Amino acid sequence: MFIKLFYFLLYVIILTQCKIEIRDANVAALSRDEIGMVFYILMENSNACSYEVKVNMIECTEVITEMDKDSAFMYLIGGHMGVLKAHCFKNLTIIYPNMYLHNRRGYCLISIKFKTEQDEVVQKKANISFNTYISKKSTPLVMRGYFSKSELTGCETVDQDPLNHCNPVDCHMKYLGTRNYFSRHLQRCQKVPLCLTDPCKEMPDLIYSPGTNKCRDMEKTVTKADLQTIEAGMTSKADEDFYYSNANINCHFGKFNNLTGKCDCRDGWTSAPLEKDRVPQSGLFAYHMCNIESTDWYDTNSRKLKLICVIVGILAVIIAMIIIFVHF
């Protein structure tokens, strides 16, 4: 009992003598060439004790929509931050590595632990909100200089890139493997279901359907109504449109065509040829189209032609000088 009381009093004395305050906690300004969002916490030690400092994430939540909040994929990298000396300030940083830094919104709860010379541990917590949504009307302070308004396009959803003509983002990269399927219908990155088959059965009883992003029961019997629908040919056109519309295609310098299932490229741009009778298939990975600049033969080879003409001219002059030299 007396030992617990002693440690409690010692803890209270440390807290009162060693005063540590959070003076600022926010997100650092971002630029296009960065590959991570930096959270910083400015600490002040206003008394005579020095501390070893460690920073770690407790939980981060991204608000994708008001009805869709995800705390599963954000992971901040922190660790040991050195020593916070007496009567000094120290800037602590913790980083969220990601290639897509714009159009993100959420909040992170961060733990800051201090260890005294007497091996006593004191903890403080910081709750930092972040908002990197960009538009022509308003821009957060941390995004100033991140883009020019001339390259900005207004998009329907958060998973269409406003700095890439509203083309779909790379879902694998943006959500770090937790939302790998881009739905053409919703224009959003979706989670992929886990379809586990029964290992005791000879044939798979459950498969993943990339066309619908759902698990399909392979043991479900075909009904008479299904057969009548197939015989009447009522599903061919709908299935074809649905198949195309769910193909994950990135039209870099073009626009997606729901009728053909491919991209209509702008003038001066084309796509790499697909194999014969091959169309983009529904799936998790993206097809990149309209990303090859096309020019006519003369524009492509004019520099080579000029170089050849110069070389031929030089050779002709040399040959002429040799002939003149031989005759004289």
Q: How far apart are CA 256 and CA 167, in angstroms?
A: 9
Six-digit token pair at 166? Answer: 């509203």
Boundary of a domain, candidates 114, 143, 172: 143
Kindly list the distances between the CA atom of residue 69 and the CA atoms of 98, 175, 283, in Å, as whole numbers in the listed order. Answer: 18, 13, 25
- Quick check: helix, strand or coil at residue 326? helix
Give the range with max mean pLDDT: 11-15, 68-72, 281-285, 290-294.
Answer: 68-72
pLDDT band for position 153 (cuts 50, 70, 90): confident
Report pLDDT for 277.
Answer: 47
- Whether the Cβ atoms of residue 91 and residue 85 lie closer than 8 Å to each other: no
Angle ∠(35,253,36) on CA atoms, nearest 5: 5
| Cα 119 from Cα 82, distance rounded (Å) | 15
* DSSP track, 220-264: PPPPHHHHHHHHTT-SHHHHHHHHHHTB-EEETTEEEETTTTEEE
Looking at residue 157, the DSSP 8-state letter turns out to be S
Domain containing 30 — which CATH number? 2.60.40.10
Query: Does residue 60 or residue 269 have the better pLDDT?
Result: 60
Q: Which two tokens stand for residue 248?
A: 């994950």
Pick the most confident of 39-53, 98-112, 250-264, 302-316: 98-112
In a domain, 163, yes or no: yes
- Name the DSSP class of 275: P
Same domain, 275 and 314: no
In a domain, 148, yes or no: no
Range with top average pLDDT, 31-45, 135-149, 227-241, 273-287: 31-45
- Average pLDDT in the 19-27 region? 88
Residue 132 pLDDT grade (very low, low, confident, very high; cuts 50, 70, 90): very high
Grade residue 274 by pLDDT with cuts at 50, 70 and 90: low
Pair (197, 262) in one structural domain: yes
For residues 9, 10, 12 and 17, what is the CA-based torsion angle, rounded to 10 degrees? 140
Q: What is the DSSP track for 123-155?
A: EEEEEEEEE----SS---GGGTTS--GGG----
pLDDT score recorded for residue 280:
56
Pairwise CA distance, residues 305 & 248, whole Å: 41
Binned at pLDDT 50, 70 and 90, residue 107 comes out as: very high
Q: 104 and 46, same structural domain? A: yes
Predicted pLDDT of residue 283:
56
- Residue 205 and residue 111 in one domain: no
Q: Quick one: which of 273, 269, 236, 235 has its CA closest to 252?
A: 269
Number of domains in the chain: 3
Structure tokens at 40: 């910083």
pLDDT in tens, 176-235: 888 888 887 888 898 888 888 888 888 888 888 877 788 888 877 777 776 776 676 555
Are 305 and 283 in a shared domain?
no
* Residue length of the chain: 328
Identify the pLDDT of residue 257. Answer: 78
| CA dihedral of residues 231, 232, 235, 237 (deg, nearest 10) | 120
- Residue 187, classed as helix, strand or coil, is coil
Instruction: Return d(Cα 256, Cα 281) in angstroms, integer.
Output: 14
Alpha helix ranges (H) inside the chain: 2-17, 171-174, 224-231, 236-245, 297-327
Residue 47 belongs to some domain of the structure: yes
Instruction: Please tell me whether residues 51 and 77 are part of one structural domain.
Output: yes
Is the predicted pLDDT of residue 16 greater than 70, yes or no? no
**Domain span at 165:** 153-293
Cα–Cα distance, 137 to 164 (Å, whole number): 18
Q: Mean pLDDT over residues 283-310, rounded? A: 70
237-272 pLDDT per residue, tens: 444 444 445 566 778 888 877 677 678 888 888 887
Q: State residue 93's pLDDT score.
A: 92
Kindly report the number of other CB atoms within 10 A of residue 151's CB atom. 10
One domain for residues 161 and 270: yes
pLDDT confidence band for 282 (50 / 70 / 90): low
Give the pLDDT band (50/70/90) at residue 51: confident
232's CB contacts (< 8 A; 6+ apart) are: none
Structure tokens at 320: 């002429």
State residue 59's pLDDT score: 94
Q: What are phi and psi of 229, to 5 degrees?
A: -65, -40
The pLDDT of 90-108, averaged and rounded, is 92
Task: In whole angstroms, give the CA distance from residue 50 to residue 48.
Answer: 7
